[in-house]
Amino acid sequence: MKKLSKESKQVSRRAFLGTAATAAAGITILPSNVIAGLGHKAPSDKLNIVGVGVGGMGFANLKNLESENIIGLCDVDWAYTGGNGVFDRYPKAKKYKDWRRMYDEMGKDFDAVVIATADHTHAITAAHAITMGKHVYVQKPLTHTVYESRLLTKLADKYNVATSMGNQGSSGEGVNLTTEWIANGEIGEITKVEAFTDRPIWPQGLNTPENGQWVPETLDWDLFVGPAQMRPYNEIYHPWNWRGWWDYGTGALGDMACHILHPVFVGLELGYPTKAQGNSTLLLQDCAPTAQSVKLTFPKRKASKKMKIKLPEVEVYWYDGGIKPMLPDGWPEGKNPNNAGGGVLFHGTKDTLVCGCYGKDPWLLSGRTPNAPKFRRRIETSHEMDWVRACKETAANRIPTASDFSEAGPFNEMVVMGVLAVRLQGLNKELEWNGESMEFTNLNDSEEIRTVIKDGFAIHDGHPTFKKTWTDPVPAKEFAAELIKHTYRAPWSLPDMPA
């Protein structure tokens, strides 16, 4: 990891946007539209924002932030990025391929960063920005691993920066209503939840390419791989299809569960699961399976004051790759449970609550329309602009975003726990999890695990032949530990975990 200069570790000259000095003074920067007589924003009212990973969703995020100053753009592939028009749209922004160089050279100038890289580089780009005192917006999933989620949660708390994960449904009315209906006891106590997505829409279940390809001149493959283990470039990984490869992505579960399971995590006041179990179609060493299912068990919780129900042990089931839960009794004939890419069924003792992806369009199976007290903050701006609002408030007076890392971090641990369950399914048992220590407690020293490297299925002379190439058996404890906390490729490294 390239060492950041002393200057880039200092808080920027616009440090009034969230530093200890203004926290002590109790100053809050107000947007000009709430100050009488002002019809514009003075330059000092605007955030200076840089983007890391601006070829896809990052560009969409920046478009929602154009009331601010977009001063830096970073992407490892300038053909992909240049082709989408982001460089032309922000011609005054400085352009980089290496985020480390951008942080080093522009550290005094930017206040906040939007990160929309491949999953495996979310944590490292966000963590170092936070230690520089920068506000961060990170696309979902927040991180690639449990350890990385815990790290960002603690760093954000230590440095008092404004944060948000890019699961935009968390700012929507569907999550609000679902949470409030549950809290008001509209469906009774909940002991089972089922959720699904229609993803993946990118290739999964693929054998690893046997041959590499020439790296395009516009792509810095070494920077794309970053902290992951180096492998030859192949167009099957980039752009976008990296989601289906374990080194870079988290499959359909990691991509979509951050949208679909958010009302489950918030509405049921979940913490760390205690048990996890996963299964799938053929599990390969390098590529996520075509379809998966996961069961996570959460213990009995102490309900907050707003809850009118108890929170007993609950089992949360996840399905993807075209698999959906069976429809409950009383389901309206012909009604598709898939709403905007997925759906959730909350099975209560009094009724069943149904919502779509992002918590969209909640409804009760009974047909009754609840009238529950509204206690969640309503967000009238975009998900991104609510983050800008938080950036401009002092740490002492800041109202957290709808997906602040204090919530998004533990929630993302739930999501990537599903990935762990799938990848450890070869142990053929339910895994017991200690969330505080981030370890499985029922793995013993004698257990081993192996995974299919290549599926050699073929047809010869009209007859099927089945031949799988397997990894050598490895100690299960070591394999699980590496999935929980990756060993980064030198010279990449993370900041230390705060105490």
Higher pLDDT, 139 or 55: 139
Percentage, residues of the chain above pLDDT 70: 91
Question: Residue 97 domain-assigned?
Answer: no
Strands 468-470 and 452-455: antiparallel
- pLDDT value at 22 more than 70: no
How many domains in the chain?
1
Residue 66 within any structural domain of the chain: no
Predicted local confidence at residue 84, as pLDDT: 83
Least confident of 17-21, 281-285, 320-324, 461-465: 17-21
Distance (Å, whole) CA 356 – CA 394: 35
Angle between helices 405-423 and 476-484 (to 10 degrees): 150
The stretch 332-353 carries a mean pLDDT of 98
Mean local confidence (pLDDT), 432-449: 98
Handedness of CA 142, 146, 148, 149 (dihedral sign): positive
pLDDT at 303: 97
Three-class SS of 418-450: HHHHHHCHHHCCCEEEECCCCEECCCCCCCEEC
User: What pLDDT score was predicted for residue 28?
Assistant: 33
pLDDT band, residue 44 (cuts 50/70/90) = low
Q: Does residue 339 sit within a domain?
A: yes
Domain span at 332 = 170-210+240-377+405-484
Is residue 250 in some structural domain? yes
Model confidence at 88: pLDDT above 60: yes
Concatenating the DSSP letter of every residue in 155-196 gives HHHHHT--EEES-GGGGSHHHHHHHHHHHTTTT--EEEEEEE
Is residue 178 over pLDDT 70? yes
Mean pLDDT of the region 138-155: 98
Whether 427 shows a pLDDT value over 50: the answer reads yes
The Cα 98–Cα 93 span in angstroms is: 15
pLDDT at 456: 87
| Percentage of the chain lying above the pLDDT 90 cut | 87
Calculate the alpha carbon distances from 141 to 115, 220, 266, 274, 436 in Å. 11, 23, 16, 21, 21
C-alpha pair distances (Å), 78 with each of 75, 157, 225, 238: 7, 34, 16, 13
Q: What is the pLDDT of residue 200?
A: 95
Tell me the pLDDT band of 286, cut-offs 50, 70 and 90: very high
Whether 224 is covered by a domain: the verdict is no
Mean pLDDT score of the chain: 91
* pLDDT attached to residue 239: 87
Sign of the four-CA dihedral 420, 262, 156, 229 = positive
Mean pLDDT, residues 409-418 taken together = 98
Residue 101 lies inside a defined structural domain of this protein = no
Q: Is residue 291 included in any domain, yes or no?
A: yes
* 31 pLDDT more than 60: no
pLDDT above 50 (res 121): yes
Whichever domain contains 255, its CATH number is: 3.30.360.10
Residue 9 falls inside a structural domain: no
> What's 121's DSSP letter?
G
Please report the pLDDT score of residue 438 as a whole number: 98
